[in-house]
């Protein structure tokens, strides 16, 4: 079945460590996104990518980095510079074009910093 | 700047009751899109509906209905005869009508609990 796969589902990290969250899609979508979800704050856009080898900062990009070497993959690295990394991270994808609106989401990765 | 407000943080009702989730938005764009997504306990967001700013016609899909009113900048969502399976977090979202990436601005979400 087509969809978005995020891994790991749960991740624990010590302070000062970088961690990378994986996101893979087999929907043949051009655009991919990373959102962060915190209780009571909804979803906030971290980074997005419209095509391979190109990505743009979202509203809260500080302390995060991404790459887009393949159309199917859009990994997110949470660096030690991110001051409050404990959160639920959601990856999404969509077709590129006039705003069709529908984002397809993965089941998320929950990161806890110990 | 665009903004979406869902004033109801949590709602709890008994099964079979009707429930309305409120959504108020702010934008300076004349052309924009509004959305509702559902987040079940599994975590992924599921697309429910999209409305563009030129289409104020209300929509009904089974037990779900949506009321879009530009005059009050609202896009409310009603579930009729609620069921336990409707329990989830619901998000309202807004985006510009542009080509390319779908940059959505989400509200804070409303956690809906349907009790048997």
Looking at residue A100, its pLDDT comes to: 62
> Is the Cβ–Cβ distance between A36 and A87 less than 8 Å?
yes
Report the C-alpha gap between A98 and B6 in whole angstroms. Answer: 27
3-state secondary structure (DSSP) of residue B86: helix
Looking at residue A41, its pLDDT comes to: 81
3-state secondary structure (DSSP) of residue B72: helix
Q: Between chains, do B106 and A42 touch, taking CB under 8 Å as contact?
A: yes
Kind of pairing, strands A97-98 and B99-100?
Answer: antiparallel
- Please give the residue of chain B at the shortest CA–CA distance from A107: B44
Mean pLDDT of the A29-36 span:
94
Chain B residues with CB-CB distance to A74 below 8 A: none
Structure tokens at B90: 């619901």
Q: Between chains, do A42 and B4 touch, taking CB under 8 Å as contact?
A: yes
How sure is the predictor about A97, in pLDDT bands with cuts at 50, 70 and 90? low
Give the CA dihedral B70, B74, B75, B77, nearest 10 degrees. Answer: -140
Report the C-alpha gap between A1 and A4 in whole angstroms. Answer: 10
| pLDDT of B13 above 60 | yes
Looking at residue B97, its pLDDT comes to: 63
Looking at residue B98, its pLDDT comes to: 64
- Please give the residue of chain A at the shortest CA–CA distance from B38: A105
Report the C-alpha gap between B100 and A74 in whole angstroms. Answer: 17
B1 to chain A, any CB pair closer than 8 A? The answer is no
Mean pLDDT of the B58-86 span:
94
Looking at residue B12, its pLDDT comes to: 97
Residue-wise pLDDT tens digits, A45-82: 999 998 899 999 999 999 999 999 999 999 999 998 88
Structure tokens at B30: 């004349």
Q: In Å, how far is A81's CA from the nearest CA of chain B?
A: 25
More confident: A44 or B30: A44
Structure tokens at A45: 């856009």
Q: In Å, how far is A88's CA from the nearest CA of chain B?
A: 9
Looking at residue B100, its pLDDT comes to: 67
Report the C-alpha gap between A50 and B72 in whole angstroms. Answer: 34
| pLDDT of A10 above 80 | yes
Average pLDDT, chain A: 91
Tell me the CA distances in angstroms from B107 to A21, A39, B27, B85, one per residue in order: 24, 12, 13, 22
A21 to chain B, any CB pair closer than 8 A? The answer is no
Classify residue A114 as exposed, middle or buried by CB count within 10 Å of its CB (0-12, 13-18, 19+): exposed
How sure is the predictor about B99, in pLDDT bands with cuts at 50, 70 and 90? low
Report the C-alpha gap between B56 and B66 in whole angstroms. Answer: 10
Report the C-alpha gap between A64 and A48 in whole angstroms. Answer: 12
């Amino acid at each position: 079945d087509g969809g978005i796969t995020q891994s790991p589902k749960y991740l624990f990290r010590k302070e000062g460590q970088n961690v990378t969250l994986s996101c893979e899609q087999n929907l043949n979508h051009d655009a991919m996104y990373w959102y962060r979800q915190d209780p009571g704050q909804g979803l906030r856009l971290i980074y997005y990518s419209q095509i391979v080898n190109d990505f743009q900062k979202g509203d809260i990009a500080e302390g995060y980095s991404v790459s887009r070497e393949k159309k199917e993959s859009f990994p997110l690295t949470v660096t030690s510079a991110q001051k409050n990394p404990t959160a639920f991270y959601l990856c999404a994808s969509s077709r590129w074009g006039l705003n069709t609106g529908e984002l397809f989401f993965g089941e998320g990765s929950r990161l806890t910093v110990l | 700047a665009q903004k979406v407000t869902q004033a109801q943080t949590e709602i709890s009702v008994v099964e079979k009751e009707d429930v309305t989730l409120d959504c108020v938005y702010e934008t300076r764009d004349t052309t924009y899109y509004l959305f509702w997504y559902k987040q079940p306990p599994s975590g992924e967001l599921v697309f429910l509906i999209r409305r563009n700013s030129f289409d104020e016609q209300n929509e009904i899909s089974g037990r779900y209905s949506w009321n879009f009113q530009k005059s009050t900048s609202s896009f409310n969502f009603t579930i009729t005869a609620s069921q336990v399976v409707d329990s989830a977090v619901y998000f309202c979202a807004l985006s510009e009508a542009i080509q390319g990436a779908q940059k959505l601005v989400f509200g804070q979400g409303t956690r809906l609990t349907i009790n048997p």
